[in-house]
């Protein structure tokens, strides 16, 4: 009996000796790289710096060069769960990782914005794996020649607000179709602009290619041109775009020639990962490099800077050959964000001039997050600001109300006024803002904005516009002449709404 007991003790000890190393391997702490298929032929690398305490997993995730804290992380019986919140703004943007950890490898399903993605595989790595490439010294500063384009603010459509990473060749073609059939082309909307996630790998010669969503970029450009429209493309001066796709870093001249050969007419150039290599003091020089490359490409290409208002871009944008430049971070389809962006633009309005425009980001009209009054405010404010009018909705399914806002030719005429006078804020009292812009033919556009939560009576005195006497007044949203009015004009302006008029002697 004693022998059996001793044998049992020894056997148990042997089992424990075998089990202990496996238990030690169940700790997921450390640095990891996860290779995530995007479904279009690309693989995106996500890096994790994980810490485990019991079943709780914490640490950081590095997506597209940005660091995010891991929330709601756990590991139990080989099942790993992690959540990464990219933005808490409505709607919340979150990535969920769920799957298996066998002690050496990760096998996870990634749910990005509630869209399941193919299972991703991960392995242990080191922080050096996510280090950016060595800095290419930016060129010495000098002025780039004016390309003579975009003498009025560009008008068109951009894919990002509505489709983000879901944009593909078919979507772009059908948007071009809809821009024509809806009548938008006839009122001035010309550009069909592809934003991020079109990029594929570079070929053996270093030429950028389209991914599987965009199998024939030249064919797509030809189709859009056949419709009587122009087409735009997107990249970054960094090694990756904002969505983690192939950037232009080190390939500026080569990529500009490729865009020209494909037939593109517009480039949106987004800072993104360039900020991991360069300082904000380098913005002008880095953008100058692409401005020169576009001029040398052999094709006229509108140059749109997307640097979120960094470095007082409005002071040097024309010097790098830019036709427009972002003055702010991203817009979203909410009243709060739209008004926050739009009403901050008056202080820099004087920097607009023909061919060179402040860009407070794309339009959200028709995406459903705001009321009709709020969308009319959006359109009125952007037009008074002489901002680019780049629709961001699904042009194929527009309601009549959305069409009436986007295609109000009288409001568009303010935006496109060839004299390019800057807007001026006439007054601001509480939630009431009055702004005016001189137009051609001795006409003034005046916007009476109510940012408050209730209808308000708003008045503007002609003397505040530098005018006097009886003026001819027209309401641009009612499409109605209001007759000759002396001294001042008053109107009831709805909550979050606008009354937009023109006045002249």
Domain ranges of the chain: 25-130, 155-415, 424-504
Percent of the chain with pLDDT over 90: 90
What does the pLDDT look like over 252-290, one tens digit per residue?
999 999 999 999 999 999 999 999 999 999 999 999 999
Query: Residue 17 pLDDT > 70, yes or no?
Result: no
CA pair distance 290, 321, nearest whole angstrom: 9
Segment 390-394 mean pLDDT? 98
* pLDDT band at residue 306 using 50, 70 and 90 as cut-offs: very high
Q: How many helices (H) and strands (E) does the chain have?
A: 10, 26
Q: Output the pLDDT for position 6.
A: 34
The position carrying tokens 């002697």 is 505
CA pair distance 266, 189, nearest whole angstrom: 14
Segment 117-129 mean pLDDT? 92
Which carries the bigger pLDDT value, residue 196 or residue 38? 196
**Which top CATH class is 25-130?**
mainly beta
Q: Output the pLDDT for position 114.
A: 63
The position carrying tokens 């592809």 is 194
* pLDDT band at residue 64 using 50, 70 and 90 as cut-offs: confident
Name the superfamily (CATH) of residues 424-504.
Golgi alpha-mannosidase II (2.60.40.1180)
What does the pLDDT look like over 215-256, one tens digit per residue?
999 999 999 999 999 999 999 999 999 999 999 999 999 999
CATH code reported for the domain at 155-415: 3.20.20.70
- Catalytic residue numbers? 270, 330
Q: Please give the C-alpha separations between residue 478 and each of 365, 367, 386, 405, 439, in angstroms, as whole numbers.
A: 18, 23, 21, 11, 20
Give the helix ranges, DSSP H, for 298-443. 335-342, 372-384, 400-406, 409-415
């Amino acid at each position: 009996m004693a022998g059996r007991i001793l044998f049992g003790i020894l056997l148990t000890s042997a089992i424990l000796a075998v089990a202990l190393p496996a238990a030690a391997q169940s700790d997921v702490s450390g640095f990891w790289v996860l290779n995530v298929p995007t479904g279009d032929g690309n693989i995106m690398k996500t890096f994790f710096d994980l810490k485990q305490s019991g079943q709780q997993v914490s640490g950081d995730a590095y997506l597209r060069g940005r660091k995010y804290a891991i929330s709601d992380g756990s590991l139990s019986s080989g099942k790993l769960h992690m959540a990464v919140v990219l933005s808490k703004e409505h709607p919340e943007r979150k990535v969920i990782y769920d799957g298996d950890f066998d002690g050496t490898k990760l096998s996870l399903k990634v749910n990005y914005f509630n869209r399941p993605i193919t299972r991703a595989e991960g392995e242990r790595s080191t922080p050096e794996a996510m280090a950016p490439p060595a800095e290419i010294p930016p060129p010495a500063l000098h002025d780039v020649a004016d390309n003579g384009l975009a003498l009025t603010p560009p008008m068109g459509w951009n894919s990002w607000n509505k489709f983000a990473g879901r944009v593909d060749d078919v979507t772009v073609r059908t948007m071009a179709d809809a821009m024509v059939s809806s009548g938008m082309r006839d009122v001035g909307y010309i550009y069909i602009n592809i934003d991020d996630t079109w990029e594929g790998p570079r070929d053996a010669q270093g030429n950028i290619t389209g991914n599987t969503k965009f199998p024939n970029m030249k064919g797509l450009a030809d189709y859009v041109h056949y419709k009587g429209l122009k087409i735009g493309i997107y990249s970054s001066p960094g090694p990756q775009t904002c969505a983690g796709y192939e950037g232009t870093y080190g390939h500026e001249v080569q990529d500009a020639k490729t865009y020209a050969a494909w037939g593109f007419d517009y480039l949106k150039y987004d800072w993104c990962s360039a900020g991991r290599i360069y300082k904000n003091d380098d913005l002008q020089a880095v953008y100058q490099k692409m401005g020169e490359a576009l001029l040398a490409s052999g094709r006229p290409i509108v140059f749109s800077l997307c640097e979120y208002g960094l470095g007082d871009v409005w002071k040097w944008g024309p010097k790098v050959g830019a036709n427009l430049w972002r003055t702010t971070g991203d817009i979203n389809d909410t009243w709060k964000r739209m008004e926050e962006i739009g009403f901050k633009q008056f202080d820099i309005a004087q920097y607009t001039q023909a061919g060179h425009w402040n860009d407070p980001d794309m339009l959200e009209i028709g995406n459903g997050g705001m009321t009709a009054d709020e969308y009319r405010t959006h359109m009125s404010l952007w037009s008074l600001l002489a901002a680019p009018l780049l629709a961001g909705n699904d042009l194929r399914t527009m309601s009549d109300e959305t069409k009436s806002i986007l295609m109000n030719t009288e409001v568009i005429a303010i935006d496109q006024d060839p004299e390019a006078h800057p807007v001026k804020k006439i007054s601001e009292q509480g939630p009431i803002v009055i702004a005016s812009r001189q137009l051609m033919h001795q006409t003034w556009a005046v916007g009476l904005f109510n940012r408050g939560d209730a209808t308000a009576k708003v008045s503007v005195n002609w003397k505040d516009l530098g005018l006097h006497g009886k003026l001819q007044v027209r309401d641009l949203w009612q499409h109605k002449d209001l007759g000759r009015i002396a001294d001042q004009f008053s109107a009831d302006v709805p909550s979050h709404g606008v009354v937009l008029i023109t006045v002249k002697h």
